[in-house]
Structure 1
Amino acid sequence: MQILPSPLLVPYIKNYTVVTIEKNLDNEVFYPSGYVDLIINISGGAAATIINGKRKDTPSVELLGHLTLPTRLTVAKGTSVLIVRIYPHASALFFSDPLSEFTNYATDMYDVALGENRDLYHKIMEARELTSKISLLESHFLQQLKKNETRLKKVAVVQALSHHILTDNQSFNITALAKDSGLSERYIQKLYQANIGLSPAAFTAVVRFNKSLQMVLHTQESLTTIAYECGYYDQAHFIKEFKKFTGITPSSSRNSLIQNGSDFQQAVNIGF
């Protein structure tokens, strides 16, 4: 189930999603989405994130930063989570640390701000209706937005740069991006590390990966065609990059979907 945010938060939050696991998941591939996810365990069920082989049990409130390393999920049947999917350019409006601190990490938000996040979690758990839980989250995000409104100008710049990257079918070229935007290459690098948590080149790689992933999972196009359509040098380059993000080949990913389905991935709406 997906619910859209209120109009004031639409530029910053893509959606709220409730996912209930219908069967035990063991070491399931989790594909990098390009978003930052705030994950709230609303069932008390057991789950864990394994990033590059390092396991982290899912706490009450978790922030899953950008992923560029192979990631797996282990989740017990019956576990329900409420996921807030935040646009990559907007995360700095809601979290005080540089976003690079959250990259390739599942952060227990009690470690970031214990009192604030514990109170928020308790209120969410006391609310019976999903609409009430989301209303509490919306109030929290609007408060954070007001507190961090001085960051809006930089966030708008990052959004514009990211839009350029998303719509440009050419290979990433920071020199050209700097020229087009009138900003220095160094400033663009700093903006991305602070506000997105990835370098512009790494963000571009995630975008390209997600485009290729959609084609792998939802079309029967050959790997050569997908590589060409998504801007990889060749099929070998595509497979190497895909494995860097997931630990498996595109063919293995496609076969796994056909054999086992991927209800969890579909529920959280992979990619851009």
Structure 2
Amino acid sequence: MEKNLLKTIIVKPENIVLKRYVEYFLFLRKKDDVSVQYTTFPNNNLCLAIYRHNHVDYQYGAKMNHCLISSGRQEFTSRIYGFHNMPFRVDIQQQLDQICIIFHPAALKAFTRLNFDEIDNAGFVFEQLFKPKDPYFLEQLFGEPDPIQQSRQLEGLLLDQLEEHRISKIWQALYHLSPAQPSQQNVSTEMLCQKLRVSDTTLFRLFKTNLGQNPQKYLKTIRFRRALKDLTTTHDPLTTVALRHYYYDQAHFIKDFKSFTGYSPKKLLKEVSVQQQSLTWIYQEK
């Protein structure tokens, strides 16, 4: 990590209540104009990204999921990155100063009255979601050089806006269904309907409103992330990993990984790295 032109620092929340809603804070900084590129993979969390003096050109479609970051005239811009069906490639062409809040699935609702599908992703999401008491909050946040102190400022802001009564019942069902939890069973949409005591139509609506993703894709992504973590932390044969995570066979496992990452599991292991046991990506300097 020390050799990277792009510096990444991950800080976990200190507040025990906030840990239920926020997975971690991510700080990305690059002080030169050398181009770098990184690729991340589909996940189930939501990322609120805040940039200082950067322009973000995000292209998303059936065959592309690409973000180009360059210098910008706006002092601050922000956007939400939700769920992806394919690898997410980011090209950074100039200096970068970026702070991300990584929310657990469906947890954003605890901090805002807006539903996920009501968020206007036009560059000012932070202002939409949060109303800091101090109008110069972002200036002070980015002016603080220590990521630990920055994370504490963010925790204070989030705790000020936290209203746990707003949290959706879907969050309660998904809280223990994260890639970090051991895979005890192959969870299905039918099981979620039973747990929440709702119909499949209502389940679909809850997912789209609170997560921006349908239940089938959510569960498929959960399985992929659990298998990815297993793959990067053990030396078990691919067949063993595939069966452990309820893939039909090794061919199904390989096909799924190629869809999510663009690589077969074996080739991915040669390219991928894990930052602070939290961020799994492919990092390249040009």
Query: TM-score normalised by the shorter chain: which range applies?
Result: 0.7 to 0.9
Q: How does 1:188-199 map to 2 (within 5 A)?
A: 188-199=203-214
1:25 to 25, 36, 40: 36
Query: 1:12 maps to which residue?
Result: 21
Letter of the aligned partner of 2:214 in structure 1?
S
Query: 1:69 maps to which residue?
Result: 86
Give the deviation of 1:167 after TM superposition. Answer: 5.7
For residues 201 and 150 of structure 1, what CA distance do their matches in structure 2 show?
Answer: 27
The answer to whether the Cα contact below 8 Å between 2:65 and 2:88 also exists between their aligned partners in 1 is no
Identical aligned residues as a percent: 22
Query: 2:116 maps to which residue?
Result: 99
* Structure 1 stretch displaced more, 183-192 or 229-238: 183-192
Asked whether 1:110 is paired with 2:124, we answer yes
2:176 to 153, 163, 170: 163
The answer to whether the Cα contact below 8 Å between 1:45 and 1:76 also exists between their aligned partners in 2 is no
For residues 118 and 236 of structure 2, what CA distance do their matches in structure 1 show?
Answer: 37
Query: 2:4 maps to which residue?
Result: none
Structure-2-length-normalised TM-score: 0.72
The answer to whether the Cα contact below 8 Å between 1:17 and 1:267 also exists between their aligned partners in 2 is no
Larger proportion of strand: 2
Query: 2:105 maps to which residue?
Result: 88
1:79 to 74, 96, 99: 96
For the residue of structure 2 that corresponds to 1:60, the secondary structure is: strand
For the residue of structure 1 that corresponds to 2:186, the secondary structure is: coil
The answer to whether the Cα contact below 8 Å between 1:60 and 1:121 also exists between their aligned partners in 2 is no
Query: 1:222 maps to which residue?
Result: 237
For the residue of structure 1 that corresponds to 2:252, the secondary structure is: helix
Query: 1:124 maps to which residue?
Result: 141
For residues 134 and 122 of structure 1, what CA distance do their matches in structure 2 show?
Answer: 14
For the residue of structure 2 that corresponds to 1:10, the secondary structure is: helix
The answer to whether the Cα contact below 8 Å between 1:92 and 1:98 also exists between their aligned partners in 2 is yes
Letter of the aligned partner of 1:159 in structure 2?
Q
For the residue of structure 1 that corresponds to 2:19, the secondary structure is: coil
Give the deviation of 1:211 after TM superposition. Answer: 1.2
The answer to whether the Cα contact below 8 Å between 1:20 and 1:81 also exists between their aligned partners in 2 is yes
For residues 36 and 95 of structure 2, what CA distance do their matches in structure 1 show?
Answer: 11
For residues 163 and 175 of structure 1, what CA distance do their matches in structure 2 show?
Answer: 17
2:49 to 39, 46, 50: 39
Structure 1 residue runs of 5 or longer lacking an equivalent are: none
Count of aligned residue pairs for this structure pair: 256
The answer to whether the Cα contact below 8 Å between 1:49 and 1:72 also exists between their aligned partners in 2 is no
Q: Structure 1 residues 195 and 223 mapped into 2: Cα distance closer, same or farther (>3 Å)? A: same
Cα deviation digits, residues 72-125 of structure 1 (max 9, x gap): 1213576343222111130222355432567xxx94541674695995433322
Q: Structure 1 residues 21 and 266 mapped into 2: Cα distance closer, same or farther (>3 Å)? A: farther
Larger proportion of helix: 1
